[in-house]
A and B are shown apart, each in its own frame.
Chain A
Amino acid sequence: MAKTKKNISWDLSPAPESAGHVTIDKRYELFIDGKFVPPATKKYFKTVNPATEEVLSEIALAGDKDIDKAVKAARKAYENTWSKISAAERGKYIYRIARLLQERAREFAVIETLDGGKPIRESRDVDVPLAASHFFYHAGWADKLDYAFANTSPTSLGVVGQIIPWNFPLLMAAWKIAPALACGNTVVLKPAETTSLTALKLAELIRDAGLPDGVVNIVTGAGDTGKALVEHPDVNKIAFTGSTAVGKMIRQSLAGTPKKLTLELGGKAANIVFEDAAIDQAVEGIVNGIYFNQGHVCCAGSRLFVEESVADEVIRKLKHRMNHLIVGDPMDKNTDVGAINSKGQLQTIEKYLKAGEKDGFEMYQSQAAIPKKGFWCKPTLFTNVSQSSIISKEEIFGPVLAMQTFRTIDEVIDKANNTPYGLSAGVWTDKGSKIFNLTTRLQAGVVWANTFNKFDPTSPFGGYKESGFGREGGIHGLSAYLNFQG
Chain B
Amino acid sequence: MALNMIDLTTLEGKDTAGKVRQLCHKAAHLHHGFPDLPNVAAVCVYPTFVKLAKSLVADKGIKVASVATAFPSGQSFLKYKLEETKEAVSEGADEIDMVISRGRFHQGEYAYVFDEISAVKEACGKARLKVILETGELGNLDAVYFASQIAIAAGADFIKTSTGKIKPAATMPVTLVMLEAIRDHYHETGKMVGMKPAGGISNAKLALHYLIMVKETLGEAWLTNEWFRFGASSLANDLLKQLVKQETGIYQSANYFALD
Report A-chain residues with C-beta under 8 Å of the C-beta of B142.
278
Q: In this complex, what residue of B is CB-closest to A1?
A: B33
A2, B247: Cβ atoms closer than 8 Å: yes
Cα–Cα distance between A196 and B223 once the two chains are bound (Å): 45
Contact of A1 among B34, B177, B211, B216 (CB under 8 A): B34
Contact with A along B203-246 (1 / 0, CB 8 A): 00000000110011000100100000000000000000001100
Report A-chain residues with C-beta under 8 Å of the C-beta of B37.
4
Q: In the complex where A8-B1, A10-B220, A324-B216 touch, is A1 in contact with B247 (Cβ < 8 A)?
A: yes
A351 close to chain B: CB less than 8 A: no
Report A-chain residues with C-beta under 8 Å of the C-beta of B180.
280
Q: In the complex where A8-B1, A10-B215 touch, is A3 in contact with B36 (Cβ < 8 A)?
A: yes
Contact of B34 among A4, A316, A324 (CB under 8 A): A4
B36, A4: Cβ atoms closer than 8 Å: yes
Contact with B along A292-321 (1 / 0, CB 8 A): 000000000000000000000000100000
Task: Quote the shortest CB–CB distance from B3 to chain A (angstroms).
Answer: 10
Report A-chain residues with C-beta under 8 Å of the C-beta of B248.
1
Contact of B243 among A4, A316, A324 (CB under 8 A): A4
List residues 124-180 of chain B with CB under 8 A from any CB of chain A.
142, 177, 180
Q: In this complex, what residue of B is CB-closest to A321?
A: B216
Instruction: Identify whether the interface residues of B are mostly helix, strand, loop, or mixed.
Output: helix
Report A-chain residues with C-beta under 8 Å of the C-beta of B243.
4
Contact with A along B243-256 (1 / 0, CB 8 A): 11001100000000
Report A-chain residues with C-beta under 8 Å of the C-beta of B14.
none
Contact with B along A1-21 (1 / 0, CB 8 A): 111100010101000000000
Task: Quote the shortest CB–CB distance from A314 to chain B (angstroms).
Answer: 13
Q: In this complex, what residue of B is CB-closest to A320?
A: B183
Q: In this complex, what residue of A is CB-closest to B31?
A: A1
Task: Quote the shortest CB–CB distance from A125 to chain B (angstroms).
Answer: 16
Cα–Cα distance between A160 and B142 once the two chains are bound (Å): 51
Report B-chain residues with C-beta under 8 Å of the C-beta of A8.
1
Task: Quote the shortest CB–CB distance from A195 to chain B (angstroms).
Answer: 31
Report B-chain residues with C-beta under 8 Å of the C-beta of A3.
36
Give the A-B pair count, Cβ closer than 8 A. 23
Cα–Cα distance between A460 and B30 once the two chains are bound (Å): 57
Cα–Cα distance between A3 and B248 once the two chains are bound (Å): 12
Report A-chain residues with C-beta under 8 Å of the C-beta of B247.
1-2, 4
Task: Quote the shortest CB–CB distance from A284 to chain B (angstroms).
Answer: 10
Report A-chain residues with C-beta under 8 Å of the C-beta of B33.
1
Contact with B along A259-287 (1 / 0, CB 8 A): 00000000000000000001010000000
Report B-chain residues with C-beta under 8 Å of the C-beta of A2.
247
A10, B216: Cβ atoms closer than 8 Å: no
Report A-chain residues with C-beta under 8 Å of the C-beta of B215.
10
Task: Quote the shortest CB–CB distance from A335 to chain B (angstroms).
Answer: 14
Cα–Cα distance between A445 and B215 once the two chains are bound (Å): 38
Task: Quote the shortest CB–CB distance from A8 to chain B (angstroms).
Answer: 6
A316, B220: Cβ atoms closer than 8 Å: no
Task: Quote the shortest CB–CB distance from B88 to chain A (angstroms).
Answer: 32
Report B-chain residues with C-beta under 8 Å of the C-beta of A4.
34, 36-37, 243, 247
Q: In this complex, what residue of A is CB-closest to B183?
A: A320
Max chain B Cβ within 10 angstroms of own Cβ: one of A1, A3, A12, A324: A1
Contact with A along B170-203 (1 / 0, CB 8 A): 0000000100100000010000000000000000
Cα–Cα distance between A4 and B244 once the two chains are bound (Å): 10
Contact with B along A89-125 (1 / 0, CB 8 A): 0000000000000000000000000000000000000
Task: Quote the shortest CB–CB distance from A315 to chain B (angstroms).
Answer: 13
Report A-chain residues with C-beta under 8 Å of the C-beta of B216.
324
Cα–Cα distance between A268 and B1 once the two chains are bound (Å): 45
Cα–Cα distance between A469 and B54 once the two chains are bound (Å): 73
Q: In this complex, what residue of B is CB-closest to A316?
A: B187
Cα–Cα distance between A2 and B220 once the two chains are bound (Å): 28
Cα–Cα distance between A3 and B247 once the two chains are bound (Å): 9
Report A-chain residues with C-beta under 8 Å of the C-beta of B34.
1, 4
List residues 83-124 of chain B with CB under 8 A from any CB of chain A.
none
Q: In the complex where A1-B34, A4-B243 touch, is A10 in contact with B187 (Cβ < 8 A)?
A: no
Cα–Cα distance between A179 and B39 once the two chains are bound (Å): 61
Cα–Cα distance between A3 and B180 once the two chains are bound (Å): 37
Report A-chain residues with C-beta under 8 Å of the C-beta of B220.
10
Q: In this complex, what residue of B is CB-closest to A2?
A: B247
Q: In this complex, what residue of A is CB-closest to B142?
A: A278
Report A-chain residues with C-beta under 8 Å of the C-beta of B177.
280
Cα–Cα distance between A427 and B253 once the two chains are bound (Å): 51
Task: Quote the shortest CB–CB distance from B139 to chain A (angstroms).
Answer: 16
Q: In this complex, what residue of A is CB-closest to B214?
A: A10
Task: Quote the shortest CB–CB distance from A320 to chain B (angstroms).
Answer: 8
Cα–Cα distance between A8 and B180 once the two chains are bound (Å): 25
Q: In this complex, what residue of A is CB-closest to B141?
A: A278
Q: In this complex, what residue of B is CB-closest to A334?
A: B212
Max chain B Cβ within 10 angstroms of own Cβ: one of A2, A10, A280, A324: A280
Q: In this complex, what residue of B is CB-closest to A430?
A: B142
Contact with A along B16-58 (1 / 0, CB 8 A): 0000000000000000011011000000000000000000000
Report B-chain residues with C-beta under 8 Å of the C-beta of A280.
177, 180
Report A-chain residues with C-beta under 8 Å of the C-beta of B211.
10
Report B-chain residues with C-beta under 8 Å of the C-beta of A1.
33-34, 244, 247-248
Task: Quote the shortest CB–CB distance from A274 to chain B (angstroms).
Answer: 16
Cα–Cα distance between A244 and B7 once the two chains are bound (Å): 59
Report B-chain residues with C-beta under 8 Å of the C-beta of A324.
216
Using A4-B243, A280-B180 as known contacts, list a sample of 6 further A-B pairs with CB atoms less than 8 Å apart, ordered by residue number in A: A2-B247, A4-B34, A4-B36, A4-B247, A8-B1, A10-B211
Residues of B within 8 A of A (CB): 1, 33-34, 36-37, 142, 177, 180, 187, 211-212, 215-216, 220, 223, 243-244, 247-248
> What are 23 A-B contacts defined by CB distance under 8 Å?
A1-B33, A1-B34, A1-B244, A1-B247, A1-B248, A2-B247, A3-B36, A4-B34, A4-B36, A4-B37, A4-B243, A4-B247, A8-B1, A10-B211, A10-B215, A10-B220, A10-B223, A12-B212, A278-B142, A280-B177, A280-B180, A316-B187, A324-B216
Residues of A within 8 A of B (CB): 1-4, 8, 10, 12, 278, 280, 316, 324
